[in-house]
Amino acid sequence: MLVYKIFRAEEWAALQEQGETNGAPIDVTDGFVHFSTAEQAAETAAKHFADADNLTLLACDADRMGDDLKWEVSRGGALFPHLYRKIRTSDVVWTKPLLLENGAHCFPEDME
């Protein structure tokens, strides 16, 4: 199963340069890396990245993260994937730019 992370340019650059990262400032504050499912990603973008441009969408393999990935109740009572370790480049299956068009982010049609 794939889970998704949205990174700003500097966060994506840090992961590429270091091979691993604690994530975005909110991830560091909360003590885990926030992910979304395909169904949750658009709402996450709208809530936390409204009008933000130059974003990258990372698709990560939940199985590669093993027991460090926990499913926990969050927004609206839904289960969200939270990673209790650094995200590594080896977790990433693919990346795509998350374009902003007419005030909304355009997600790839092949998200599963």
**Does residue 85 lie within any of the structural domains?**
yes
pLDDT at 75: 75
The CATH code of the domain that includes 12 is: 3.20.170.20
Give the integer Cα–Cα distance in Å for 27 and 11.
11
CA dihedral 74, 19, 66, 3 (to 10 degrees): 40
Tell me whether residue 55 is in a domain: yes
Q: Identify the band that residue 85 occupies on the pLDDT scale cut at 50, 70 and 90.
A: very high
3-state secondary structure of 106: strand
- 22-38 tens-digit pLDDT: 999 999 999 999 999 99
Residue 107 lies in a domain: no
> Which structural domain range is residue 26 located in?
2-99
Beta pairing class for 92-101 and 104-106? antiparallel
pLDDT on residue 2: 97
Count of structural domains, the chain: 1
